[in-house]
């Protein structure tokens, strides 16, 4: 009878636990939450721990657990530096978090990106961030300096020449200052909101309302958003491969 006893293997009892090399106890807490529904605050985890857990999911083909961890990272994405999110997205093929991270990098002053951040995101992403920021700065200066023209004045406008002159002056002193403020440049939406609160001199109410409608359409402003989106899509297609489905 003694010879027929099965040998004790890992996981057979509490005295013989399963050893998961490279997975910390803290990281395994997330697996327990996924398995048993016990809430764990993801903010307590470093990004390196979450990276290890994604590696664990890939190693053992835990696709559902992988989706769970990605959803938790996405819900707390604002807590992590975007360079780290880019690293996770590329390394573990997580396309869903790449656009947010790239948008944040595009809005981060290049002087605030350290050598460590550059290593995390890789040279290709870093160079594209530099190019995007240069293009956005150029576009911002163009928008600030070249006001949308009043092509047709309203019927109530009594002084079209004075209306054009004041519109030009107020645009430069308003939108130009808001967009190009060296200490605190305003996003387009905030700049437009503050611009509408200014006094417009000889600009008639009808002309002002017409131009405000054009600003609200955001045609000129959306070029910047589209450029960032297209660059991001290019990088996603090139760098973030779709994960292979687990073998049956």
Per residue of the chain (248 residues), give pLDDT as tens: 455 555 666 667 767 777 766 667 766 777 777 777 766 666 566 677 777 778 878 777 778 878 877 887 888 888 889 999 999 999 989 999 999 999 999 999 999 999 999 999 999 999 999 999 999 999 999 999 999 999 999 999 999 999 999 999 999 999 999 999 888 888 888 999 999 999 999 999 999 999 999 998 887 778 888 899 999 999 999 999 876 655 55
* Token representation of residue 235: 């990088």
pTM reported for the whole predicted model: 0.76
- Distance (Å, rounded) from C-alpha 80 to C-alpha 137? 25
Please give the Cα distance from 65 to 61 (Å, whole number): 9
């Amino acid at each position: 009878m003694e010879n027929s006893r099965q040998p004790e293997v890992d996981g057979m009892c509490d005295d013989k636990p399963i050893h998961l090399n490279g997975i910390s106890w803290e990281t395994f807490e997330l697996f327990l939450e996924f398995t048993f529904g016990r809430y764990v605050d993801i903010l307590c985890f470093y990004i390196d721990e979450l990276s290890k857990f994604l590696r664990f999911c890939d190693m053992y083909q835990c696709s559902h657990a992988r989706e769970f961890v990605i959803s938790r990272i996405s819900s707390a994405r604002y807590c992590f530096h975007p360079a780290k999110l880019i690293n996770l997205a590329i390394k573990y093929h997580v396309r869903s978090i790449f656009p947010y991270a790239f948008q944040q990098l595009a809005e981060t002053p290049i002087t605030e990106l350290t050598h460590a951040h550059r290593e995390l995101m890789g040279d290709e992403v870093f160079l594209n961030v530099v190019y995007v920021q240069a293009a956005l700065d150029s576009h911002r200066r163009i928008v600030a300096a070249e006001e949308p023209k009043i092509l047709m004045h309203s019927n109530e406008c009594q002084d079209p020449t004075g209306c054009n002159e004041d519109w030009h002056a107020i645009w430069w002193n308003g939108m130009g200052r808001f967009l190009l403020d060296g200490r605190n440049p305003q996003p387009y939406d905030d700049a437009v909101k503050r611009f509408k609160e200014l006094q417009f001199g000889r600009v008639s109410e009808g002309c002002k309302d017409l131009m405000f409608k054009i600003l609200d359409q955001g045609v000129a402003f959306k070029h910047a958003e589209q450029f960032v989106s297209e660059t991001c899509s290019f990088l996603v297609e090139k760098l973030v491969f779709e994960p292979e489905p687990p073998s049956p």
